[in-house]
Amino acid sequence: MKLLIKNGTLITASDTFRSDILIEGQTISRIGLDLEVDPAQVIDASGKLILPGGVDPHTHFDLPMFGTVSSDDHYTGHKAAAFGGTTTAIDFVVLEDQGFQYSVDLWMKKAEKAAIDYSFHMNLTKFDEKIAKEIPSLREMGITTLKVFTAYNGRLRLDDAGIFKVLRIAKENGMLVMAHCENGDVIDTLVADALNAGHLTPEWHALTRPVWGAVEATLRMAAMAEQAGAPVYIVHMNAGGEVDMLRYARERGVKVMGETCPQYLFFTIDHLRRADGAKWICSPPMRTEQDNARLWEGLSNGILQTIGTDHCPFYFDGTRPIVYEGRGIAIPGKELGKDDFTKIPNGLPGVGDRLPIMWTYGVRAGRITANQFVAYNSTNPAKIFGLYPRKGALLPGSDADIVIWDPQKKVKYGVAHSHQRTDYNLYEGWELTGFPEKVFLRGQMIVDGDEWKGKQGAGRFLKRAEGEVQ
């Protein structure tokens, strides 16, 4: 079956132009003006924008934490992603003691219900000579990225010597290291001080994870990457000083790339001081309005490379079921830490919010261009993580992952529109102009307005090649 989308305006990372687009099977076959194909299903996209499906480089579905689990799995989270215009998501595999293959197999099993296309990063939370020798085996599994942590002492963190060795192994094998940058030693000390003083409210989550820890750890990772001759990708940049460090390193030729997330552009520590402050608990934490502004500058000026979500949702009150697809479901959530901030599951919903929020408050507000919007949310992640031009592109031969975007549609946003399986939305009541109208995954319509046409198991695992430094 051929599908012809006519009279739309295509937006890519570099160009904006009026064109038709022909889909044959699962891929784009032709792009051009006044295409005529018979027989073909025709969709008139007059007045609409045609975008490549979003690529979210940072999600956490079905992730165990603090005695519970993130409330979206690889079906519900993928469904939410699709309603928000995202058609590819990259999740993180938890490294078990049984090794890489065992750990990947566990995540493959979780993802059998996938509704959009997906891939995995490997959380590298242990390191020794045996693991060092096994790292190249991940490439055979189609996984070319390793995430390291400079925080979470005794649980996830590698020391600097281990991180440096991982960077060199990654370089030798065409892989990319991703880094969570905070200072674990400072955090542990300050958390102990806060608990001893009886400071238990959510704001102390942010106060015990100081901004300077993120700034110095970001520069330290860039420095180690340069000394190893390897690229590095800094996840969820949240501080203005991190943008400064990214610019400093890149101007000196360091192959360092930066990702931010929408939550760090809009919210501050003051949100943690609200009665419902636990909703905003994530790591790294919210900072200040000055940090928000500098991160926006990082996007506007092209210092940053991607926008991910770090989607890792938990119910605000997991004792009360919500109705999802006609069935009541309750999952323990942030109420677990109602009397102690250190027991609040860390993470936020966001996989369905990214594109609609960034369009209204980024593109329409004049902070980023429509082309930057596509670059940060789709094309750059696809290039960095070895998926381009299959994903993140409107080109002949690319997968027909396409969003027909209505730039005039007005939405009062919130839980009802996001489709994320949790009981709150960070952007509840926000007024949006511009929203996905139809979403296609490899040529199949999976979202049609408010109607879900996708299905469990339709998503495919994407084996990834070596990516490109952006």
SS (H, E, C) 228-271: HCCCEEEEEECCHHHHHHHHHHHHCCCCEEEEECCHHHHCEHHH
Q: Are residues 173 and 214 in the same domain?
A: yes
How confident is the model at residue 416, as a pLDDT?
86
Percent of the chain exceeding pLDDT 70 equals 100
Instruction: Look up residue 127 and give its two tokens.
Output: 């390191």
- Would residue 142 count as lying in a domain? yes
How confident is the model at residue 165, as a pLDDT?
98
Q: Are residues 435 and 332 in the same domain?
A: no
Whether 39 shows a pLDDT value over 90: the answer reads no
CA pair distance 13, 56, nearest whole angstrom: 16
Q: What is the pLDDT of residues 61-111, one digit of tens each?
A: 999 999 999 999 999 999 999 999 999 999 999 999 999 999 999 999 999
Domain count, the chain: 2
Residue whose tokens read 């000390």: 189
- Would residue 155 count as lying in a domain? yes
How confident is the model at residue 1, as a pLDDT?
78
E strand or H helix that includes residue 377: none
- Enumerate the H helices of 84-209 as residue ranges: 100-110, 129-134, 137-140, 160-172, 184-196, 203-207
- Would residue 469 count as lying in a domain? no
The candidate with the shortest Cα–Cα distance to 97, out of 139, 134, 63, is: 134
Whether 40 shows a pLDDT value over 90: the answer reads no
CA pair distance 190, 184, nearest whole angstrom: 10
Q: Are residues 46 and 73 in the same domain?
A: no
How confident is the model at residue 257, as a pLDDT?
98
CA pair distance 232, 145, nearest whole angstrom: 10
Strand-strand pairing, 176-180 and 145-149: parallel
Is the pTM higher than 0.85? yes
- Would residue 119 count as lying in a domain? yes
CA pair distance 104, 124, nearest whole angstrom: 12
How confident is the model at residue 162, as a pLDDT?
98
Q: Are residues 18 and 155 in the same domain?
A: no
Q: Are residues 281 and 400 in the same domain?
A: no
Q: Are residues 43 and 110 in the same domain?
A: no
Mean pLDDT for 162-187 is 98
Q: Whole domain around residue 139: which residue ranges?
A: 53-384
Contact (Cβ atoms closer than 8 angstroms) between residue 252 and residue 222 = no
The candidate with the shortest Cα–Cα distance to 120, out of 154, 159, 89, 151, is: 89
CA pair distance 449, 139, nearest whole angstrom: 38
Q: What is the pLDDT of residues 318-328, one digit of tens each?
A: 999 999 999 99
Q: Are residues 60 and 47 in the same domain?
A: no
The candidate with the shortest Cα–Cα distance to 357, out of 87, 77, 85, is: 85
Q: What is the pLDDT of residues 290-310, one digit of tens each?
A: 999 999 999 999 999 999 999
What are the φ/ψ torsions at residue 187 (nearest 5 degrees)?
A: -60, -50
E strand or H helix that includes residue 252: none
Residues 6+ apart with CB under 8 A from 305: 233, 257, 258, 259, 376, 380, 384, 470
DSSP 324-337: ETTEEE----GGGG
CA angle 169, 171, 175 (to 5 degrees): 90
